[in-house]
């Protein structure tokens, strides 16, 4: 599949609004995020067409470079696993700071300590690159840059203690953000854009010791420089892409979901952005939502047959494509350059 395979396809689920009513117990208990157990009834309504037939990008938008993003995936994987406390993690941080320092007018590194429930002492760093920093109306796009220390979903239990390469889970979202920084250094966006690279998303093994950088950002978020909303990119490089709407995003950030999926539709990517609502995934958007910042999660959680590549040694460069990275980058570009 190449980037051009994604251009203005019109197949998909038709021009119909999708409705669904759910009454469920959502359990996010036990991870200290405070959502608790909540019973509720909700009506999901995501317009699948809404007049957004494929019309191409907003005039004057820059072109996102999927091949550049793919090269950034390869570079990250070549560092080795980016597990906090390892040489690969340190090398990647230096490289990101050097890269972003050349592209963005403002780069902020926030280094903090964290002790896990098992007693591991971690030094973690969130990095933010700010474009059009003088603008008060700002959009946040984030991705995690660390990788999982354990392939604990691998088919073979002998692999469970081996770190993953994280070509998709870690490198893909980071690569899109880094290529986005290159693009934005040449093309002034119509609103401020904060690219946030969060650390410690995947440390684990349980969710108590995950989402660490996002929790840190949420704790330190001030009203002075609060973005209007956030968009999380996680596992956005699968060579066989599908991005159904993630369940928590549909509940807590439906307006953002509509903006993103309509942007995809305008670019002709409806076949890869079904408006059906999929699973609830506790991810980096949850602490942000809890801090009052509506944030949608753009995630492809069908990675390999029966998700077999997720948190396994199969999360390799061969399973990531420039076409998918280019499509996701183009959707984010359209979101930004259509005004946020």
Q: Contact residues for ligand 1BN (CB under 6 A)?
A: 169, 202, 234-235, 281-283
Residue 52 binds which of Zn ion, ligand 1BN, none (CB < 5-8 A, kind-dependent): none
Residue 234 binds which of ligand 1BN, Zn ion, none (CB < 5-8 A, kind-dependent): ligand 1BN
Which tokens go with 99? 């890269």
Rounded to a whole number of angstroms, the minimum distance from the CB of residue 16 to ligand 1BN is: 29
- Give the footprint of Zn ion on this chain (CB under 5 A): 148, 169, 202
Question: Is 199 or 265 the residue whose CB approaches ligand 1BN more closely?
Answer: 199
Which tokens go with 338? 């259509």
Environment class of residue 186 by beta-carbon count within 10 Å: exposed (0-12), middle (13-18) or buried (19+)?
exposed
Question: Is 44 or 214 the residue whose CB approaches ligand 1BN more closely?
Answer: 214
Rounded to a whole number of angstroms, the minimum distance from the CB of residue 237 to ligand 1BN is: 12
Rounded to a whole number of angstroms, the minimum distance from the CB of residue 282 to ligand 1BN is: 6
Strands (E), the chain: 18-27, 37-46, 106-115, 121-131, 138-144, 192-198, 229-234, 295-299
Question: Is 169 or 199 the residue whose CB approaches ligand 1BN more closely?
Answer: 169
Evaluate whether 20 touches 54 at the Cβ level (below 8 Å): no
Rounded to a whole number of angstroms, the minimum distance from the CB of residue 210 to ligand 1BN is: 7
Residue 282 binds which of ligand 1BN, Zn ion, none (CB < 5-8 A, kind-dependent): ligand 1BN
Q: What per-residue string of b and e applies to 269-278 under the rule 16 or more CB within 10 Å gives b? A: bbebbbbebb
Please tell me the distance from the alpha carbon of residue 276 to that of residue 257, in angstroms, as a whole number.
11
Rounded to a whole number of angstroms, the minimum distance from the CB of residue 234 to ligand 1BN is: 5
Residue 283 binds which of ligand 1BN, Zn ion, none (CB < 5-8 A, kind-dependent): ligand 1BN
**Phi, psi (rounded to 5 degrees) for 187:** -135, 110
Q: Does residue 205 have a cis peptide bond before it, meaning omega lies within 30 degrees of 0?
A: yes
- Look-up: residue for tokens 């669904």? 20
Question: Is 202 or 246 the residue whose CB approaches Zn ion more closely?
Answer: 202
Question: Is 247 or 323 the residue whose CB approaches ligand 1BN more closely?
Answer: 247
Residue 281 binds which of ligand 1BN, Zn ion, none (CB < 5-8 A, kind-dependent): ligand 1BN
Question: Is 107 or 210 the residue whose CB approaches ligand 1BN more closely?
Answer: 210
Please tell me the distance from the alpha carbon of residue 67 to that of residue 49, in angstroms, as a whole number.
30
Please tell me the distance from the alpha carbon of residue 189 to that of residue 135, in angstroms, as a whole number.
10
């Amino acid at each position: 599949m190449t980037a051009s395979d994604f251009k203005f396809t019109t197949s998909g689920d038709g021009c119909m609004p999708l409705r669904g009513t759910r009454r469920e117990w959502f359990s996010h208990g036990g991870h200290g995020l405070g959502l608790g157990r909540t019973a509720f009834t909700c009506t999901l309504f995501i317009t699948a067409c809404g007049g957004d037939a494929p019309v191409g990008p907003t005039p004057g938008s820059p072109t996102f470079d999927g091949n550049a993003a793919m090269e950034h995936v390869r570079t990250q994987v070549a560092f080795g696993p980016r597990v906090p406390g390892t040489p690969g993690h340190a090398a990647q941080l230096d490289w990101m700071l050097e890269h972003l320092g050349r592209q963005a007018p403002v780069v902020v590194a926030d280094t903090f300590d964290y002790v896990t429930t098992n007693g591991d002492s971690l030094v973690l760093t969130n990095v933010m690159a700010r474009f059009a920093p003088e603008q008060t109306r700002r959009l946040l796009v984030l991705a995690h840059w660390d990788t999982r220390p354990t392939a604990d979903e691998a088919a073979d239990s002998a692999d469970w203690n081996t770190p993953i390469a994280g070509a998709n889970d870690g490198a893909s979202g980071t690569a899109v953000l880094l290529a986005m920084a290159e693009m934005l250094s040449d093309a002034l966006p119509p609103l401020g854009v904060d690219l946030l690279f969060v650390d410690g998303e995947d440390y684990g093994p349980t969710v108590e010791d995950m989402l660490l950088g996002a929790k840190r950002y949420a704790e330190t978020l001030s009203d002075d420089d609060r973005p209007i909303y956030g968009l999380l990119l996680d596992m956005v490089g699968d060579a066989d892409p599908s991005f159904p709407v993630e369940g928590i995003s549909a509940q807590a950030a439906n307006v953002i979901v509509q903006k993103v999926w309509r942007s995809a539709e305008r670019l002709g990517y409806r076949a890869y952005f079904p408006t059906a609502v999929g699973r609830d995934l506790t991810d980096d958007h949850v602490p942000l939502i809890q801090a009052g910042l509506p944030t949608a999660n753009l995630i492809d959680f069908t990675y390999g047959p029966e998700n077999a590549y997720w948190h396994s040694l199969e999360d390799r460069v061969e399973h990531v494509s420039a076409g998918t990275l280019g499509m996701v980058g183009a959707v984010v570009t359209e979101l930004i350059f259509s005004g946020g």
